[in-house]
Each structure stands twice: as C-alpha cells, then as structure tokens.
Structure 1
Amino acid sequence: MLDGTLDGRAWRLNDRYRHHAASEVLRRAVGDPDLGRVALVSSFGAESVVLLHMVSVVAPGLPVLFIDTQMLFAETLDYQRAVTARLGLTDVRVIRAGADRIAARDPDGSLHRVDPDACCDLRKTVPLEQALAGFDAWITGRKRFQGGQRATLDFFEPEPPTRLRVNPLAHWRPQDVQDYMIENNLPRHPLIAKGYPSIGCAPCTSAVAPGEDPRAGRWRGRDKTECGIHFIGGRMSRRKVTA
C-alpha cells in the first residue's frame, strides 16, 4: 500500500528520480501526479537564469513567481524583465506585499534595520505563501554546495502541512552552474561583475571580497543567513496565511 503522507510522497519521488540529471528531474516533475500543481519561485538573482532557462525549454508556460520586495536593486528589476523576454516565459507573476500591510508595519521603510526577520516576513514570506496557496509544489534553485541547512538537500522535500519542494540543482557543483550558463550563452546578472555573487534586497546585500563565502554579503554582520522562505521547523517557518 502506498504511503500517501507528505514524507512518503517525497521519499517516493526521490527514489523514482535519484539517478536523473537536473533537467530530467525538472522535465518529469512538472507532469508527475505525485506533485500536482507546480510553480517555479525565482529571485532572478545571480544563478536564477539556469532554472529559468530549463523551464523555458521544458515548460515555458509554467507559472514563475517573482517576489518584488520593493527594496530590490534596480539592476534586478531590469534583469527580470530582460530575462523574461529573452527566454519567452509566458506566465511570470510579480508578487508584492499589499500596500496596506506595508503602511501598517513598515511605513518609513526602516524595518529592515531594526528587525530584518520581520521585514523578510512582511515583504517576502507572507506574499509568497499567499501566491503559493494554489499550488501543491514549488521549484527552488537551492544547492547543497551553498552549505548550512542546504548541505543535505534532496531533489524533493516535504514542506508541511501539504506542500512539496523540488530542488533540481541540489547536487550541482559551482562549476556546473557556470558551465551551464556558458554553454547556453545565458545573460549574467549585472551585479555579479561588481562583486555580488548572491543578490537580495539592496539595503541588506553588500559586495563580497575575494575569498569570502559567496553569501557573506547577505545581512552582513547579523546572525541571519536565510530570508525565511526556505526554513522547515526553523524560527521563521512559513505559516498558513488566512488573509
């Protein structure tokens, strides 16, 4: 008898696709009944173009959710529009926090200075949860080599209570990412050349010096390494949103 629990579905999918390459994991996942309705969540950051390109080949009409925190670099917004057009992605949905929520919780735009976790929750976590309400699974660009909580990633992981996450690039190495970009002549985010190997919101992202960890520029000087949308059982786990 099949295990219909979330953990059981994740185990079954990992067993089914454990020997597949990233592109095949993605290709098969978008049509696998064990996943259901699927969307790609993309930051249009430093390495996002790899998965975006794969989607453009496999399923260009797949919903792509882009969270505009309204604090992004202008270069990221320009890059998002340019990549969307170049790859022919037909269902990119720009997600933002409601103006009323911003006015109530961060009227002067300074929340990131005093409570960056609360700012991420307001501008990223809650809007994404609302946008994902109609999906059974979402695709991420996380990779094991990024370390921390990502070091043991599988292709498929449960996200309680009912959703799954798909990590097609989980087993890729840094060189795999670079090789794919070169082989497919993909455009780089303009901030990479300025020393930003990991790109988030402008107030909370700084350039990285040679030899530093690629994510060292994210929330520099704070005990924070994730925005919250990827935690399971952590201090900022995404929660059910009712409004």
Structure 2
Amino acid sequence: MSSQIYGEPYVEATNNSSNESGYASGASSSSSQESLPEIYFTKAHLKFLNSRLAKLEPQDILQWCVTSLPGLYQSTALGLTGLVTTDILSKMDGPLKPSVDLIFLDTLHHFDETLDLLNRVKKRYGATVHVYKPEGCDTADDFAAKHGQKLWETNDELYDWVAKVEPQNRAYADLQVKAVLTGRRKSQGGKRGDLDILEVDDNGVIKVNPLANWSLAQVQEYINANNVPTNALIERGYKSIGDWHSTQPVAPGEDERAGRWKGRTDKSECGIHNPKSRYAQFLRQQQLQQDAQLSQALQDMVVADA
C-alpha cells in the first residue's frame, strides 16, 4: 500500500440509491463522498508529478496549478522571484484565466521600501492582497510592548514564530488555503539547493515553487523585459530582502541570500519554510498528542458500547 501524503484512505462506498455508480463526482451528495479529501497525493504520485513539472517552464507550471489545485494562493514577501510569478499570472488569459490572491505577512519590521512596493504591486496588477500581522499587534511599538525589545536578538525562533509562522498559519486557516505559490529557487543556495517544484508540508498544504529551476539571471532578465516593479533596495546591493534588522546588502560573489541573518551559519530560513524549528516541532508534538488522545477516546467509546 502506498504511503499517504495528504488526505484520508479510500473507503469503499456502500450500495444505496444515491450512489448507484459507485463513483464520486463533484455533484455527489452522499456522506461517504462528501468526506473525500479535496487534494490527495501518494509519495509515488508526488514523485511522478515533480519529474514531469521539472521539465516545464514556469508559465506551464502555473497553468497546471490553476487548472489542478483548488484553494490556490500566492504567499509573497515581494522578492524578485515572487514578483515574476505575479507578473506571469497577470498575463495568463483564456477560459482558465487565474484569479490568485496574494498573502503578505507584515512582520511590522519591513523596510519602508518594501511597503512602498506592496502599494505599487496592488496598483499595477489590481491584486487582492491579504495582509496578516503578528496577533494582537498593529505597529512595531505594539510588538515591542507585547514581546519585549529586540525579540529577534533575544529569541530569534520565537520571533520567527510570532512574526511570521503564526500569522501564516492564521492566514491559511482563515482563507482555507489548500495550495500556495512560493518564490523559492534552487539557485538561492542554502537549504534550497535540492528544492522540488511540488511539496506538501506537515499540515497538508501544497507548496509550489514554479521558478525553482530558474537562475537569478533568468529572473532578472524577465523583470527587465517585462518592466516588473521591484524593491528600490535592489539598486543598493540588496538581493533577498526581509526585515530591516536582519537584512544586509550582498557582496559580489556571495549567495543571493547571504545578506539574510549575515554571520549566522546556523540560520538560513525564517521558520515559514523550516518545519524543523524548535517551535514548529513543539507544536507538531502537541498535535500528535491531541490526535492520540482523540483516538483513545474513540476506542473507549467503542468498548463502552460493545
């Protein structure tokens, strides 16, 4: 039996008048069919899809996404790769013209230039942007009052959690996100060197990296050819831009993301794409314990009814 990536195991439908064919469809109304997962991949299927998608250009990958994946959004920090994705989507036409909303995590510590770019992107593309901030905070002062001064220095993993991961999880829950487009590429270096086009995280959310196989030169060529709006900091030597307190310009010859958490050899991801962070593992363990407790309670009910 193949390993599951997401969804429930198939349960054979019972014979009844509303399900004579024995097959589920979008119009089916029986309870067994309503319980079918929205998106389901086995490991073998995921491997097969990646082997095929890796041969396609980003435009074709994105066309597959808007055709195949419900609940599709683009999560963006307005980096170069994500901006290319937004531009490509805006130019797709035809009977399946996409309408992919953007999710932007406002950590309250972005550069002013990044927030200016957000406004330019909204104006240029007419995009619907869902902005999520740290829970209970609207300004940097609110954040400092709630979490202390310079939390990114005193506890960087907790900072990643409250400023980025928790708002992302809240966005996914609020918006019923099933699949998300990211701006990650292999050529960015670090842990992204073996990136696949298609991934599934521990929560069952599908992550698509449509430009995973592009180089920075290809990204820049597209941006120049299509007059894509970019962050003004790019012209000052910044290549990958995050919060002002943990982003520096990149020196010639350095990796694209070398300016993020510069000097930290143990850190290359913020937590959004790092499921092995201490806080992510803690929450995952909590979920496993809750699942085990629920399973035991159900078993106890069966025994009691026997």
Query: What does residue range 1-243 of structure 1 map to in structure 2 within 5 Å?
Result: 5-6=5-6, 8=42, 9-32=45-68, 35-58=69-92, 61-89=99-127, 91-99=128-136, 102=143, 105-106=146-147, 108-133=148-173, 134-222=176-264, 223-235=266-278, 237=280, 239=283
SS in 2 for 1:93: strand
* Displacement of 1:14: 2.1
Q: Which runs of 5+ in 2 are unaligned?
A: 7-40, 288-306
RMSD: 2.5
Amino acid corresponding to residue 83 of structure 1 in structure 2: V
Separation in structure 2 between the aligned mates of residue 16 and residue 207 of structure 1, nearest angstrom:
36
Amino acid at match of 2:150: S
Q: Letter of the aligned partner of 1:208 in structure 2?
A: V
Letter in 2 for 1:77: L
Contact 1:229 1:237 (C-alpha < 8 Å) held by counterparts: no
Uncovered stretches (5+) of structure 1, i.e. residues with no partner:
none
Please list every run of at least 4 consecutive aligned residues from structure 1 whose deviation after the TM superposition is greater than 4 angstroms.
1-4, 238-242
Higher Rg of the two aligned structures? 2
**What's the CA shift for 1:180?**
0.7
**What's the offset of the Cα at 1:103?**
6.5
CA distance in 1 between counterparts of 2:59 and 2:280 reads 29
Superposed displacement of residue 137, structure 1: 1.1
Q: Which amino acid aligns with 1:5?
A: I
Name which of structure 1's ranges 183-192 and 212-221 shifts more when overlaid on structure 2.
212-221
What residue identity is the alignment partner of 1:79?
L
In 1: Cα distance, 2:246 partner to 2:279 partner: 17
Note if contact 1:230-1:237 (Cα within 8 Å) is conserved in structure 2: no
Deviation of 1:146 after TM superposition, in Å, equals 1.2
Higher alpha-carbon deviation: 64-73 or 52-61: 52-61
- Where 1:56 maps in the other structure, the secondary structure is helix
Q: Which deviates the most, 56-65 or 174-183?
A: 56-65
Name the CA distance, whole Å, in 2 between partners of 1:146 and 1:45.
12
TM-score (ref. length: structure 2): 0.70
The number of equivalent residue pairs is 238
- Kept in 2, the 8 Å contact 1:45–1:76? The answer is no
Aligned-pair CA distance for 1:128: 0.3
Structure 1 12/38 Cα, relative in aligned 2: closer, same or farther at 3 Å? farther
- Structure 1: distance between partners of 2:149 and 2:46: 39
Cα gap change, 1:37 to 1:161, in 2 (>3 Å): same
How big is the shift at 1:70? 0.4
Q: Separation in 1 of the partners of 2:123 and 2:144?
A: 32
Distance of aligned partners of 1:26 and 1:237 in 2 relative to their CA distance in 1, 3 Å threshold: farther
On the 8 A contact 1:46/1:192 being kept in 2, the answer is: no
Deviations along 1:204-232, whole A, 9 cap, x unmatched?
Answer: 11122222222222112223111010124
Q: CA shift at 1:135, angstroms?
A: 1.1
What's the offset of the Cα at 1:85?
0.9
